[in-house]
Amino acid sequence: MQQSAPNVDAAEVAKFTGLAQEWWDPLGPFATLHAINPLRLNWIDAHARLRGKRVLDVGCGAGILSEAMALRGAEVTAIDAGSEHLEAAREHARETGVDVTYLQTTAEAFSEQHAGGFDVVTCLEMLEHVPDPDSVVAALARLLVPGGQLLLSTINRTPRAFAEAIVGAEYLLRLLPQGTHEYARFLKPSELGASLRRQGLQVRELKGLTYSPLTRSYRLTTSVAVNYLLYAQAPLPGAGSDS
Ligand code: SAH
If one residue of 126, 128, 218 were mutated to test the ligand 1 pocket, choosing by the most ligand atoms within 8 A of its CB, it would be 126
Q: What is the DSSP letter of 171?
A: I
Q: Return the closest-CA partner of residue 60 out of 74, 47, 49, 46.
A: 74
Q: Which residues line ligand 1 (CB under 6 A)?
A: 7-8, 12-13, 16, 33, 59-61, 64-65, 80-82, 85, 106, 124-126, 129-130
pTM (2 decimals)? Answer: 0.94
Closest residue by CA, ligand 1 atom 9: 126
pLDDT, average across residues 16-42: 91
List the domains of the chain with CATH numbers. 38-233 (3.40.50.150)
If one residue of 3, 23, 65, 80 were mutated to test the ligand 1 pocket, choosing by the most ligand atoms within 8 A of its CB, it would be 80
Separation of alpha carbons 149 and 55, rounded Å: 9
In ligand 1, the atom with minimum distance to the C-alpha of 12 is 18
What is the structure's pLDDT at 187?
98
Query: Mean pLDDT highest for which of 9-23, 163-177, 225-239?
Result: 225-239
- 185-218 pLDDT, tens digit per residue, is 999 999 999 999 999 999 999 999 998 877 878 9
Do the Cβ atoms of 158 and 226 come closer than 8 Å? yes
- For residue 172, the SS3 value is helix
What Å distances lie between residue 170 and 22, 106, 159, 189, 215, CA to CA?
17, 27, 15, 22, 18
If one residue of 13, 65, 127, 143 were mutated to test the ligand 1 pocket, choosing by the most ligand atoms within 8 A of its CB, it would be 13
Separation of alpha carbons 41 and 76, rounded Å: 13
Q: Residue 44 forms beta bridges with which residues?
A: none
What is the structure's pLDDT at 168?
86
Distance 16 CA to ligand 1 centre (A): 8
- For residue 56, the SS3 value is strand
Mean of the per-residue pLDDT values of the chain = 93
For 199, other C-beta atoms within 10 Å of its C-beta total 18
In ligand 1, the atom with minimum distance to the C-alpha of 131 is 22
E strand or H helix at 122: strand 118-124
